[in-house]
Structure formats: structure tokens, C-alpha cells
Amino acid sequence: MGHGYGSHWGMMGWGNGGFWPVGMIIWLVVIIAFIALVSWVVSTLSSRGRYADTRRTSALDTLEQRYARGEIGRDEYLQKKNDILSR
């Protein structure tokens, strides 16, 4: 038997992997947290896109209704439509 860590470290659970369940649980928590973070980022980005599309559609609907009622002329309608679609 030599010097250094010897067999007494293995008996305490450090040297021979006696605490492997703790390390495994920690990695499992890290992996789950990473998956949750990625899921949240994807969800946030996709919901921003949906919000912008909904707002654009609503603005176009309102603009078309105003044009149909004669509240605005053709030139103003086309200019505002172009402004909405270019955002």
C-alpha cells in the first residue's frame, strides 16, 4: 500500500464513486434547467412574432374598414397600407 489517497478514501465514499447519485442528480437538474431555458426562449420569441402579426392584421383590418366607409382616400389608404406592411 502506498502513500496518498489509499483505500480509506474509498471507504468514505469519495474515491470510488460513493457519491455518484448526488452528482447524477445535480447533472439531471442542470439538464432539466437548460431544457426549460431553451423552451422558454423559443416560446418567448414565437409569441413576439404572433403578437406582431396580430397587431399588423388588426391595423390592416381597421385601415380597410376606414377606406371602405370613405373616411380616407385611395392615396392615403395605399400609403398607410405600405407603412403598416413595411414594419
Answer yes or no: is 4 within a domain. Answer: no
Q: What digits encode the pLDDT tens for the residues 36-51?
A: 999 999 888 776 656 6
Question: Residue 86: its pLDDT value, please?
Answer: 82
The pTM score is 0.40
Q: Kindly report the CA angle at 52 between 50 and 53, in degrees rounded to 5?
A: 65
Answer yes or no: is 65 within a domain. Answer: yes
Please answer whether residues 63 and 55 qualify as being in contact, where contact means their C-beta atoms are separated by less than 8 angstroms.
no
**Beta-carbon neighbour count of residue 18 at 10 Å?**
13
Indicate the number of domains in the chain. Answer: 1
Q: Please tell me the number of Cα atoms within 13 Å of 19 on its side-chain side.
A: 10
Question: Residue 18: its pLDDT value, please?
Answer: 62
With a cut of 60, say whether residue 64 has pLDDT above it.
yes
Structural domain span for residue 64: 19-85
Answer yes or no: is 74 within a domain. Answer: yes
Answer yes or no: is 55 within a domain. Answer: yes
9 or 57, higher pLDDT: 57
Q: What digits encode the pLDDT tens for the residues 2-36?
A: 555 555 544 545 555 566 788 889 999 999 999 99
Answer yes or no: is 36 within a domain. Answer: yes
